[in-house]
Amino acid sequence: MNIKQLVKNVLGQSNWNRTVSTVKYGKSNCFFLLNHVQKMQVSDEWAASEYSVPKRHTFFGYYDIQPFNEKENKLLAHVVAKKAKTSVDKAQIGYFNVNEKEFHEVATTRAWCWQQGARLRWHPILRDCIVFNDVEEDHYISKTVNVDSGEVIQQTPMALYDFDSDFTFGLSLNFARLQRLRPGYGYDTLPDVTENDNAPSEDGIFYVDLKNNKTQLIVSLSSLAAECDPDKKYEHYINHISISPDGSRFMFFHIYTISDGVWKTRLCVYSMNDGTINVLEEADKVSHYDWRGNHELLVTCYTPEKKQYYAVYNVINREKSILASEYLQKDGHPSFFADTNRFISDTYPLANQLQHLFEYNMEEKGLNEIVSAYSSPLMYGEKRCDMHPRLSVSEQYISFDSTFSENRRKIVLLKRK
């Protein structure tokens, strides 16, 4: 046993994590103080503005959802207390007008997490309405609420992970199981009733008919486990469901835990036409994703040796093309521009706790850094703050979450000059 492991055993995991984060905080702040370096630096092509509620965490959440309304004058946000607990405290749901800094609360929710919030987004058809997840008695639900009146327009019997662009169908999963097995991504307001079943036959991915408010299990965890773990030795779950732009397919991660902190992943694509599932990757671990049109996926991956890379998968012929670039050797959260030859992405904290947000051109194989921003190590584990950069439809704005100042989450809005 080495000295590091010995100290960890003596302190306990929780105290060890706290000690490590405190040491990182001290070292990184000494670097900025001694070298007179700003904790956020922005490219000359962009102007930055901050949006937050004083003394509270203000964030949007995941990168695969659009926080801007159609006119791009309102920016959605979650607001929670600095010491909020997801299991008991509510999150405020609302928006900022882009031209002002005042937060407008629309509703509250008890179904939220640090990484993905309440899956909050604008309704694709009802332009003045938002959609987010909440709790009703003994189950998770989704609500459609008018931002001006606060009126609940529609309520679905299950929380939604994603829905199509016409709001005709949505997809759901067991958010309690997800939170238990991957803290920070699901909800822990309610208990996971499937805890004692490694691969439940009545749990998995649910189709939600948004016109008739009916639900149906279309992919079971037991059927997925049968393909790679027939004895059900490991705990299986679903994460990261994403519907293709035309609604004909959806991708998802099938994940199963091998041991504490160790899991395997399978990148799967489900066809809405015939219900078939193609497994595009199971040798390497998949991490993040974005649709490139309707037939390709850009995915970040890890080899068993923990080498990181970006790859494009064709969902029709299953061909895989690795983007061999010195710039793309770190995991990130990618989103394509409309031309699909360029995308933005980010990094986790690197040297001196700096996260980097950049644009990459797949044709020219070139990278332009947009932002480097300090990430407070005092926010760690499921409470860590990833940038999760989000590109507006007009491509004039990028928003991201950051703890670059005051050790609390803020939304930073970049406007193209």
* Residue 107 binned pLDDT confidence (cut-offs 50, 70, 90): very high
For residue 17, is it within any domain? no
- Adjacent-strand bridge partners of 270: 250, 277
Query: If you write DSSP's letter for every residue of 356-417 in order, what string do you get?
Result: EEEEEETTTTEEEEEEEEE--TTS-GGG------EE-TTSSEEEEEE-SSTTS-EEEEEEE-
Average pLDDT, the chain: 96
pLDDT value at residue 15: 81
Beta-sheet strand order (sheet of 169-172): 162-163, 169-172, 204-209, 214-220
Beta-bridge partners for 81: 56
| CATH for 188 | 2.130.10.10
Q: Assess if residue 222 is contained within a domain.
A: yes
Which residues have a Cβ under 8 Å from the Cβ of 391 and sit 6 or more positions away?
Answer: 335, 337, 344, 397, 398
Task: Give the DSSP letter of residue 117.
Answer: B
Within a domain: residue 402? no
Residue 133: domain span: 64-332
Q: Give Cβ neighbours of residue 92 (< 8 Å, ≥ 6 apart).
A: 78, 79, 80, 103, 105, 107, 108
The answer on pLDDT for 139 being more than 80 is yes
Q: How confident is the model at residue 7, as a pLDDT?
A: 58
Instruction: Give 229-270 pLDDT, tens digit per residue.
Output: 999 999 999 999 999 999 999 999 999 998 887 899 999 999
* Within-domain flag for 6: no
Q: Residue 161, by phi and psi: left (phi above 0), alpha (psi -120 to 50) or beta?
A: alpha
In a domain, 362, yes or no: no
* pLDDT at residue 152 tops 70: yes
Query: Which residue has 């050797």 as its token pair?
Result: 329
Identity at 407, one-letter amino acid code: N
Q: Let me know how many helices (H) and strands (E) the chain has, helices first.
A: 4, 29
Task: Retrieve residue 59's tokens.
Answer: 């964030």
**Do the beta carbons of residue 76 and residue 147 sit within 8 Å?**
no
CA distance 78 to 162: 18
In a domain, 358, yes or no: no
Q: What is the CA radius of gyration of the chain?
A: 21
pLDDT digits (tens, 9 = 90+) for 353-371: 999 999 999 999 999 999 9
Q: What is the mean pLDDT of residues 298-305?
A: 97
Question: Which DSSP category does 182 fall into?
Answer: S
Q: What is the pLDDT of residues 6-59, one digit of tens each?
A: 656 656 778 878 888 999 999 999 999 999 999 999 999 999 999 999 999 999
Cα(310)–Cα(286) distance, integer angstroms: 10
User: Is residue 7 one of the residues assigned to a domain?
Assistant: no
Tokens of 169: 């169908």
Phi first, then psi, for residue 123 (nearest 5°) are -70, 135
Number of domains in the chain: 1
Q: Is 339 part of any domain?
A: no
**Cβ count near 85 (within 10 Å):** 9
- 267-296 tens-digit pLDDT: 999 999 999 999 999 999 999 999 999 999
